């Protein structure tokens, strides 16, 4: 009797293991794809949405010129700011927010060796920048962007820690080379802005608004006109905007299944 019961127990364990393995297999071998989700209303109405996002500000002249263009075109955008650039430029930050744009965080120093030294260092950079924004605007900014993008830095551990702090990550699926080469001609910047990776109707477009980005200012009106002509609606990133980050390998499910196998075999 005991032997039969023991045999059935073993079978029960392996049956459970098999079901868990089948359920988790897509997650074990898969990746966390770009979160390019839209709201239910956008899906139903098949809306095309573009998010203009500007990194590396605030800068005295260029950021203000970009704000002038956005105001003239009646467009709202998102600015991912660098924390140590805010002091002395508080009025620019106030103008960004006051004109209906949203604020994101782009680390405090933008120094890669320091930012990516550890997960704790990365989070500290975001915390410092959030504190600077709060000092000036008295708001809690939660949208963040990794310098040069979240890949290969984002993983399960860091994602969990960032979410615990209330942060949401935003990469992009269209970008300008204005952050790599300030001298890229406006015509080329325009062409880059129209090339979207993937088939999503949502476009998160990366641009820059640092002091040397004068050619971005020149290309921006034409970029806006292009997306208007294509029927896109312009939106800033807000608290309810779904995260949008590059895919990365998922390790936590693999570890869970491995632990389950070991525990089952040991019984």
**pLDDT tens, residue by residue, 185-217:** 999 999 999 999 998 899 999 999 999 999 999
Which one of the listed residues 55, 171, 178, 210 is annotated catalytic?
55
Q: In this predicted model, what pLDDT tens digit does every residue of 9-54 receive, in sequence order?
A: 444 544 444 443 334 434 333 334 444 433 333 433 568 999 999 9
**What percentage of residues in the chain have a pLDDT greater than 90?**
74
CATH number of 40-234: 3.20.20.370
pTM assigned to the model = 0.80
Annotated catalytic, 208? Answer: yes
Catalytic residue among 171, 178, 208, 210: 208
Is 55 among the residues known to form the active site?
yes
Which string of DSSP letters, residue by residue, matches the chain? -HHHHHHHHHHHHHHHHHHHHHHHHHHHH-B--------HHHHHHT--EEEEEEEEE--TTHHHHHHHHHHHHT---EEEE-GGGTTT-HHHHHHHHHTT-EEEE--SS--HHHHTT-HHHHHHHHHHHHHHHHHHH-----EE--TT-STTT--HHHHHHHHHTT-EEB--SEE-GGGT-TT--HHHHHHHHT--SSS-SEEEEEEE-STT-HHHHHHHHHHHHHHHHTTPEE----TTSPPB----B--HHHHHHHHHHHHHHH-
């Amino acid at each position: 009797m005991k032997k039969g019961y023991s045999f059935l127990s073993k079978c029960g364990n392996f049956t459970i293991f098999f079901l868990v393995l089948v359920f988790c297999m897509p997650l074990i071998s898969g990746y966390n794809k770009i979160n390019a989700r839209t709201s239910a209303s956008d899906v139903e109405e098949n809306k095309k949405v573009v998010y203009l996002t500007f990194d590396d500000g605030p800068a005295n002249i260029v950021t203000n010129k970009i704000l002038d263009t956005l105001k003239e075109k009646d467009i709202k955008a998102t600015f991912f700011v660098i924390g140590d650039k805010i002091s002395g430029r508080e009025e620019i930050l106030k103008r960004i927010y006051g004109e209906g744009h949203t604020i994101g965080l782009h680390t405090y120093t933008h120094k890669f060796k320091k930012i990516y030294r550890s997960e704790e260092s990365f989070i500290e950079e975001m915390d410092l920048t959030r504190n600077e924004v709060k000092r000036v605007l008295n708001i809690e900014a939660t949208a963040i962007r990794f310098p040069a993008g979240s890949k290969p830095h984002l993983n399960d551990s860091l994602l969990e820690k960032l979410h615990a702090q209330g942060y949401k990550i935003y990469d992009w699926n269209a970008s300008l080379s204005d952050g790599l080469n300030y001298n890229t001609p406006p015509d080329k910047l325009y062409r880059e802005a129209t090339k979207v990776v993937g088939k999503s109707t949502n476009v998160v477009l990366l641009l820059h608004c640092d002091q040397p980005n004068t050619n971005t200012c020149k290309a921006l009106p034409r970029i806006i006109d292009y997306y208007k002509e294509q029927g896109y609606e312009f939106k800033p990133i807000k608290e309810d905007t779904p995260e949008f980050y590059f895919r990365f390998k998922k390790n936590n499910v693999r570890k869970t299944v491995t632990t389950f196998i070991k525990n089952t075999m040991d019984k």
